[in-house]
Amino acid sequence: MIYIANPIYDVVFKFMMEDNKVAKKFISAIIREEVVELDFAHTSIPYGGNTGLTVCHMDFAAKISTPAGFKIVAIELQKAKLPTDIMRFRNYLGQNYQSSDNTYRVKD
């Protein structure tokens, strides 16, 4: 008998995405660009206590091939049980992006 792990579960999805070859193919399919190099930067799976909130969050740095040449991009991948889970995380990110502690001005 052959057992196949279901990537719908966070721990299996995380395991799958930690395999560089699999992650490159998966991300290439999503962004419809060829991922030439992929560096796994960060991962987290925050839990929201009794709310059942689970968001699997992964960061990658990728070198992709485009018709204009190569470019380096940051890729943030999130997997959640419910769309509202992602929105809570997006609101958190938005607040941090707007914070004056996380920005700086370039003087001309």
Residue 77 lies in a domain: yes
Q: What is the distance of C-alpha 25 from the center of its chain?
A: 14
- What tens digit of pLDDT does each residue of 10-60 get? 778 888 888 899 999 999 999 899 999 998 876 665 555 555 556 677 888
Place of tokens 């001005």: 105
- Our count of domains for the chain comes to 1
Average pLDDT along the chain? 78
Strand partners, 76: 59
| Residue whose C-alpha is closest to residue 47's, from 101, 10, 7, 100 | 10
pLDDT at 79 over 80: no
Structure tokens, 6: 């279901």
DSSP 107: P
Structure tokens, 27: 């991300």
pLDDT bin (cut points 50, 70, 90) of residue 93 is: confident
Spatial contact of 13 and 56, defined as CB atoms under 8 Å apart: yes
Residue 36 lies in a domain: yes
For residues 53 and 85, what is the distance between their CA atoms, to the nearest angstrom? Answer: 6
Question: Which range marks the domain in which residue 49 is found?
Answer: 10-99
Residue 105 lies in a domain: no
Residue 78 lies in a domain: yes
Residue 35 lies in a domain: yes
Residue 108 lies in a domain: no
